[in-house]
A and B are shown apart, each in its own frame.
Chain A
Amino acid sequence: DAEITQSPRHKITETGRQVTLACHQTWNHNNMFWYRQDLGHGLRLIHYSYGVHDTNKGEVSDGYSVSRSNTEDLPLTLESAASSQTSVYFCASSESIPDTQYFGPGTRLTVL
């Protein structure tokens, strides 16, 4: 069955380190998204992509970057991890029609 996976599921890192979170989907969806979820803020959009080599900033993109070299993957990179980036990160994908987003299981990131 087609699916969307995230790795690692849990990560502990130190302030200042570069961290990359992986997202892989097998639906061949054009659209992919990264969200973070924190208590009191709900889900907030970090970056999104509408296709290979396309990337766009969401509402909380500072300190994060993405690149889309193929349809299946959209890795999220924290250039220099900060404690404020401790959060649960969700990846999602969708096809344009129907425009329904399907979410991965999440990655819990702790920055010490």
Chain B
Amino acid sequence: DAKTTQPPSMDCAEGRAANLPCNHSTISGNEYVYWYRQIHSQGPQYIIHGLKNNETNEMASLIITEDRKSSTLILPHATLRDTAVYYCIVRATGANSKLTFGKGITLSVRP
């Protein structure tokens, strides 16, 4: 799987949008960008994934640059419960469906 680079931490104010960046400059054409998060002491939680088009669901939006070398996860109205470690993972789908977790980015939402 291609390697991703995320800053170690960031914070944002409650109610504001949280924009979490991820670089994946060596991504291959068949690899997707996945985002998971892990709230303290809980199992990782799937958020969203995409290939090249921007994606939105009830949790977040995923913006992928045209060259696919970077992406941004957007939490439109962050709440205190969004405080977690967020993992950006690049992987191909199919038979080899293993996830490789890096260190992620710790998002702290302040009141």
Q: Name A residues whose Cβ lies closer than 8 Å to a Cβ of B.
A: 31, 33, 35, 42-45, 48, 50, 58, 90, 92, 94, 96-106
Contacts and interface: CB of A to CB of B under 8 A. Distances in A.
Nearest to B41: A106
Contact of A42 (B95, B97, B103): B103
Interface of B: 34, 41-46, 49, 93-95, 97-104
User: Shortest 6 CB-CB distances between A and B: which pairs?
Assistant: A103-B43, A99-B93, A43-B101, A42-B101, A103-B44, A99-B97
Contacts of A97: 93
Given A104-B43, A105-B42, A105-B43, 4 more contacts: A43-B99, A44-B101, A92-B44, A101-B46
A100 B57 CA distance: 14
Contact of A48 (B41, B46, B98): B98
A57 B107 CA distance: 32
Contact of B97 (A35, A58, A96, A102): A96
Contacts of B34: 100
Contacts, number: 50
A106 B97 contact: no
16 contacts: A42-B101, A43-B101, A45-B99, A48-B98, A50-B95, A90-B43, A92-B44, A96-B93, A99-B94, A100-B34, A100-B49, A103-B43, A103-B44, A104-B43, A105-B43, A106-B41
A103 B93 CA distance: 17
A60 B27 CA distance: 25
Contact of A43 (B44, B45, B49, B97): B44
A23 to B, nearest CB: 11
A103 B45 contact: yes
Contact of B98 (A42, A58, A105): A58
Contacts of A105: 42-43
Contacts of B44: 43, 90, 92, 101, 103
Nearest to A58: B98
